[in-house]
Amino acid sequence: MPELKARFLECIPRTPSVESFRFKLPEKFDFLPGQFSQLMFDTAHRDNKELNKYLSFSCAPGKEYVEVTKRLSASIFSQKLKGLKPGDEVLFKTPLGTCVFKEGYKKIAFLIGGIGITPVISIIEYIVSGGLDTDVCLVYSNRTDEDIAFKKELDAWRSAHANIKVSYVVTECEPKDHTCIFGRIDKDLLEGHLCDMSERTIFIFGPPRMVEAMSNVCLEMGCAKENMKTENFIGY
């Protein structure tokens, strides 16, 4: 897998705890929408899981930069990211992952929780920028409406494109935004918002327990296992 040194450009706040980080790569670089990269701060010890972590691309391919996004914590890796200054270099091992969008997909759905939204942004931005007519339905769950990352971008896309539908789900309290749904992603909710799930290629990104739960709901609704594309976010 190629390794490239990327030069840090800037960070963009997405929520109080989520930030995006943009980098400039030294050469033309291609990846598929939905793929991810390993960012390595400890190149002398490649198996250092504290300083070398996997992050999904949160932008479409073909831009002048690449972007990754993380929910920041007190971890050493998060602090390294926050401490980057413009011009600092980070080693990228990339691209990785096979849970990707293909232009042959005519109808797709995303069942997403929290930071699992990052590869979804890459895919939807690719669809929008390419003028594709893929029918997109996103169900995106967070604890509160303040935790919804990329809401500005998602709202703009669904307003401008009839083929993009977005449903926000909030689990912990009644949302301030009346367009959000209070509850959890389950069979009843999906039957109300994704009645044609069996016709779609379904992407599920997130922690293993969430991926397993959403996969079981899809199977319960009669979705074919071969139409479900899953990616577990481990050690995120």
Q: For 187-233, write each residue's pLDDT tens digit.
A: 988 888 777 888 899 999 888 888 999 999 999 988 999 999 998 87
DSSP per residue over 58-110, as a string?
-S-TTSSSEEEEEE--SSHHHHHHHT--TT-EEEEEEEE-S----TT--EEEE
Place 31 in a pLDDT band, splitting at 50, 70 and 90.
Answer: very high
Q: Among the listed ranges 11-15, 52-56, 83-87, 170-174, which one has the minimum average pLDDT value?
A: 170-174
The CATH number of residue 35's host domain is: 2.40.30.10
Q: Tell the burial category of 104 from Cβ atoms under 10 Å away from its Cβ (0-12, 13-18, 19+).
A: exposed
How many CB atoms sit inside 10 A of residue 235's CB? 9
Task: Please give the residue range of the domain that contains residue 27.
Answer: 3-96
pLDDT of residue 22: 98
Integer angstrom CA distances of residue 144 from 206, 218, 233? 17, 24, 21
Same domain, 141 and 197: yes
- CA gap 132, 125 in Å, rounded: 10
Strands 66-71 and 18-24, by their bridges, are antiparallel
The answer to whether residues 176 and 145 touch, using CB atoms and an 8 Å cutoff, is yes
CA 161 to chain CA centroid, nearest Å: 20
Q: Per residue in 56-83, pLDDT tens?
A: 999 999 999 999 999 999 999 999 999 9
Whether 102 is in a domain gets the answer: no
Whether 130 is in a domain gets the answer: yes
Same domain, 92 and 18: yes
Place 234 in a pLDDT band, splitting at 50, 70 and 90.
Answer: low
Same domain, 90 and 111: no
Q: Per residue in 120-163, pLDDT tens?
A: 999 999 999 999 999 999 999 999 989 999 999 999 999 999 99
Same domain, 125 and 23: no
Same domain, 206 and 128: yes
Same domain, 64 and 172: no
Place 8 in a pLDDT band, splitting at 50, 70 and 90.
Answer: very high
The model's pTM: 0.94
pLDDT over 90 at 32, yes or no: yes
Same domain, 147 and 65: no
Length of the chain: 236
Last residue of a domain, one of 96, 130, 159: 96
Last residue of a domain, one of 72, 96, 120: 96
Same domain, 13 and 113: no
pLDDT of residue 236: 53
Structure tokens at 117: 């939204």
Structure tokens at 199: 């016709």
Same domain, 129 and 92: no
pLDDT of residue 175: 62
Same domain, 128 and 218: yes
If one counts the domains in the chain, the total is: 2
Residue 231 CA neighbour count, 13 Å, CB half: 25
Whether 101 is in a domain gets the answer: no
Same domain, 120 and 162: yes
Same domain, 124 and 227: yes
Last residue of a domain, one of 51, 68, 96: 96
